[in-house]
Amino acid sequence: MKDIKDRNILPGLKKAAGLAEDLLFPPRCPICDEPVPLSGDRICAECAGRIRPIRGNVCRKCGRPVAAAGTLCRDCSERAHSYSAGCAAFLYRDISGSLYRMKFEGRAEYAKYYGYQIARRVRECFDQEEIDAIDALVPVPVSAQRLRQRGYNQAGLLAQAVSEVLKIPARSDVLVRSRKTPGMRALSASERYKNLKNAFIVHGNDVEFMRIMLIDDIYTTGATIDACAEALAGAGAAGIYYAAAAIGEIHDQPEQSHFDDQNVYI
């Protein structure tokens, strides 16, 4: 009886802890970094009008904007990906500075806003029947060393926020990064795939027949999502999808940014 009561009390305690944290450390707008009201959308009105969520025609595989509906982007037409389909909320270039602060400057609170935007985009891109069939949201893991340095995995925080909206369990215990991978900012797509080969392993044995949606902050070439999907498929997952806060545009050369050697792709 006591165990049942404890389980019933736990959600309330978590909510109260979250409210207390917001009062002590007010959430900040992910774009201008100014404090925002607790009851709002976690973005100030001015910045909400400045950034543009992805709309219109997108690649039917990765969700990158394309010219014509129902087509593949150049990347997906040239490379077979290991996941079934995916989507992203924003173009990377529009929120790159914000994601940098979330990842490297301790702005973990941004994950709440971006998680809600990912959930919105998932509902736009997937039928409700498809969403209902997903068994777990699995964040792309970081290495143990990176986790110690940051104190959190931004993909894990995003997955928790998406879970609050879509009511799909977030499972940070499913995938493990088996090794720290070198930075990939200057690498080509093929070099990134080689860099991530066997970098992820499935922890436990309960993913068989599960439908999983991988969650990450940024999708660029798809190398990271593919490496995760291959590990999950090898463990028997029945379907693998992905959703991210941002997706990069296709360039002939590796995409450059202001990110340092701890770059965004790790």
CATH number, position 147? 3.40.50.2020
Considering the domain boundaries, does residue 162 fall inside one?
yes
Q: Residue 178: name the closest of 202, 158, 155, 154 by CA.
A: 202
Considering the domain boundaries, does residue 159 fall inside one?
yes
46 and 176 inside one domain: no
Domain end point (choices 15, 30, 50): 50
Domain end point (choices 50, 65, 84): 50
Considering the domain boundaries, does residue 266 fall inside one?
no
CA distance 160 to 168: 9
What does the pLDDT profile of the chain (266 residues) look like in tens digits? 445 445 555 544 444 444 555 555 688 999 999 999 877 789 999 999 899 999 999 999 999 999 999 999 999 999 999 999 999 999 999 999 999 999 999 999 999 999 999 999 999 999 999 999 999 999 999 988 889 989 999 999 999 999 999 999 999 999 998 866 655 555 566 767 666 777 899 988 889 999 999 999 999 999 999 999 999 999 999 999 999 999 998 753 333 333 333 333 33
Considering the domain boundaries, does residue 253 fall inside one?
no
Considering the domain boundaries, does residue 259 fall inside one?
no
CA distance 138 to 215: 6
